[in-house]
Amino acid sequence: MKMHSTESAPDERLGTVSFSVSCAPAVQASFNRGVALLHDFWYQEAGPQFEQIAKADPGCAMAHWGLAMSRFHQIWDRPDEATMKFGWAEIQKAQAPHAKTSREQEYIAALAVFYKPGKQDYMARITAYANAMGALYKRHPDDVDAGAFYALSLLAAGAPDDTSLRQNQRAMAVLTPLFAKYPDNPGLVHYIIHACDNPAMAADGLAAAQRYGVIAPSGPHAVHMSGHIFARLGMWPEDIESQLGSIAASEAAEARGESGIMDEPHSYDFLMYAYLQSGQDANARGVLDKMPSVLDRLGSMGDREYMTGMVPYYRSEFPVIYALEMRDWQTASTLKAVPGAPPQIETQIWWARAISDGHLHHAEQAQADLAKYDALMVEVKKGRHAYEADSTGAQIGRDEIAGWAAFAANRQDEALKDMRAAADLQDKVGQGEVDIPAREMLADMLLELHQPQQALAEYRIALKLSPNRFNGLYHAGEAAEAAGNKRAAAEFYAALLKSTGNGASSSRPEMAHAKNFVASEQLAEK
């Protein structure tokens, strides 16, 4: 089976790109496809596409720019030494034939700023690249792809601990007017979704989310991405449709010999999460049971290192999501680290165990979970992912674990202080893609401490930021009920029933209680 396709299938749709280059006319369509693949983050296919262009037209300087861009995974990860060497080698090749237009020279020069050997750290390089792309776009305001790539660079140049959303807003200032004029450009819709993947801006990304899967149904990651906004807004049917479409696109791509399977696990984790929130318990369990075979197949692809490298992460993540959302604390408290998982991935196991040990009041175990997390973060700081240890997400996770460790030991004030710190920080940027919101966990603590009024106030905030979460709605109703606010309880339980199709696919005891309470309140009103 061929491993990559450099010719588009007759029915392939990746969005509309018109990126004019001074290369041979025969490669223009291929170049447009390559740029579309870059915009869709389908880097594993973009590389071979630009390599084929370079072979077909050895004088095409921009083909080497494209090859260097295919290894430049902005907002996904930071390049290692081998990637930097590859990128610089391609930039040198791009400079050798000398691009025929000043615009092409500027694209190559901007990327050279990032890849050029030197002592600059990543943040200095990405900031310099963003500045160069901003200057390029200013000189070529009609170049829609320059605007798109500039906006992406702004997102990538955000510091790991920045909660201001300033870079997101700067990116949107570029993207919004372009999207109004070029609604079929895949870069614009993709980067709008990333910019708006937070509670404060999610609604602003809805139009792009509704558009992306329509214009680029052949791109597995493209179809998946819409779900980021749908999940932020609690639109579970739309999220599910996006992820099923992404999985279908992945399977179709794999059948063509393309790297489709690499996108499947991420679509499946969003899918399982959406099933859990919408009360489709059997479907969620079906995803969990299917993942070992999917990941075994992915892990067997030794020639696709980027894909196989994600296997430990997903082997850890799926059991974590399922156990925590089902509130199966006993199972979550005994989760094991995946053999061979790097420290930045193993931390999620101890995060899950700490939450469960906190609920179970296993004080010694919860303290051990915290100690293990801290030890792993020390290891993270020693490696190439050291920047993750200083990220907002790492700080939130640490505060959550510390909060549950204190809660398990009955240090209630300390527990609430730590969890409130996590919630206040997380509220600014949103919870991790498929995580329990810290604000909801703060409310859980208050409810268990028999403070239902205070818990209800926190659940309301949590549901405003993360709408239609199953456990958030149910426990908000429970808190209202405990506080004697039957009307509010009925409203939350009714919202849960609406979000889950009246609980038709769930056997969780919460559904029975919600149905009975709503029915009794309706009867009382008659």
Which tokens hold the place of 512? Answer: 């029975």
Residues 330 and 410 placed together within one structural domain of the fold: yes
Residues 13 and 107 placed together within one structural domain of the fold: yes
Q: Quick check: 303 pLDDT over 70?
A: no
Domain boundary among 380, 406, 436: 436
Note whether residue 274 is domain-resident.
no
- Eight-state DSSP code of residue 119: S
Structural domain containing residue 135: 8-171
pLDDT confidence of residue 358:
99
Note whether residue 228 is domain-resident.
no
Note whether residue 231 is domain-resident.
no
- Eight-state DSSP code of residue 159: -
Residues 401 and 465 placed together within one structural domain of the fold: no
* DSSP states of 227-283: HHHHHHTT-HHHHHHHHHHHHHHHHHHHHTTSSGGGGHHHHHHHHHHHHHHTT-HHH
Note whether residue 216 is domain-resident.
no
Across residues 67-84, what is the average pLDDT?
Answer: 95
Question: Residue 57's closest CA among 19, 97, 104, 88?
Answer: 97
Question: Residue 512's closest CA among 483, 482, 474?
Answer: 474
Residues 156 and 21 placed together within one structural domain of the fold: yes
Note whether residue 290 is domain-resident.
no
pLDDT confidence of residue 310:
83
Lowest mean pLDDT among 7-16, 170-179, 504-513: 7-16
Residues 370 and 512 placed together within one structural domain of the fold: no
**pLDDT tens figures, 129-151:** 999 999 999 999 999 999 999 99
Residues 425 and 461 placed together within one structural domain of the fold: no
* CA dist., res. 457 & res. 444, Å (int): 11
Contacts of 168 (CB under 8 A, 6+ apart): 155, 158, 195, 196, 198, 201
Checking 369-377 for CB contacts under 8 A at 24+ apart, the result is 369/401, 369/404, 369/405, 370/401, 370/402, 370/405, 373/347, 373/397, 373/398, 373/401, 374/398, 376/343, 376/344, 376/346, 376/347, 376/350, 377/343, 377/347
* CA dist., res. 38 & res. 21, Å (int): 16
Question: Residue 419's closest CA among 324, 362, 332, 427?
Answer: 427
Lowest mean pLDDT among 12-16, 37-41, 96-100: 96-100
pLDDT confidence of residue 262:
80
Question: Residue 61's closest CA among 29, 24, 35, 34?
Answer: 24
Domain boundary among 378, 407, 436: 436
**pLDDT tens figures, 330-380:** 999 999 999 989 999 999 999 999 999 999 999 999 999 999 999 999 999
Across residues 34-42, what is the average pLDDT?
Answer: 97
* CA dist., res. 439 & res. 446, Å (int): 11
Note whether residue 507 is domain-resident.
yes
pLDDT confidence of residue 3:
44
Query: Can you give the three-state secondary structure of 285-321, one letter per residue?
Result: HHHHHHHHHHHHHHHCCCCCHHHHCCHHHHHHHHHHH
Note whether residue 238 is domain-resident.
no
Domain boundary among 109, 137, 171: 171
* CA dist., res. 521 & res. 526, Å (int): 9
CATH number at residue 462: 1.25.40.10
* CA dist., res. 265 & res. 268, Å (int): 5
CATH number at residue 31: 1.25.40
Q: Quick check: 68 pLDDT over 90?
A: yes
* CA dist., res. 311 & res. 294, Å (int): 10
Residues 424 and 460 placed together within one structural domain of the fold: no
Residues 424 and 521 placed together within one structural domain of the fold: no
Contacts of 15 (CB under 8 A, 6+ apart): 36, 39, 40, 184, 185, 186, 187, 189, 215, 216, 219, 222
What's the half-sphere exposure (Cβ side, CA atoms, 13 Å) at 514? 31
Residues 348 and 457 placed together within one structural domain of the fold: no
Cα 279 to the chain's mean position, in Å? 22
Across residues 248-273, what is the average pLDDT?
Answer: 91
Note whether residue 253 is domain-resident.
no
Q: Tell me the pTM.
A: 0.96
Q: To 5 degrees, how large is the angle CA 153–CA 159–CA 162?
A: 120
Residues 14 and 158 placed together within one structural domain of the fold: yes
Please return the burial class of 465, using the count of CB atoms within 10 Å of its CB with bins 0-12, 13-18 and 19+: buried
Using 50, 70 and 90 to split pLDDT, how confident is the model at 1?
very low
Residues 327 and 366 placed together within one structural domain of the fold: yes
Q: Quick check: 312 pLDDT over 60?
A: yes
Q: Using N-to-C axis directions, what is the helix angle for 166-181 and 144-156, rounded to 10°?
A: 160
Q: Taking all residues of the chain, what is their mean pLDDT, rounded to a whole number?
A: 95
Q: Quick check: 321 pLDDT over 70?
A: yes
Cα 360 to the chain's mean position, in Å? 30
* CA dist., res. 278 & res. 265, Å (int): 20
Instruction: Tell me how many domains the chain contains.
Output: 3
Residues 432 and 349 placed together within one structural domain of the fold: yes
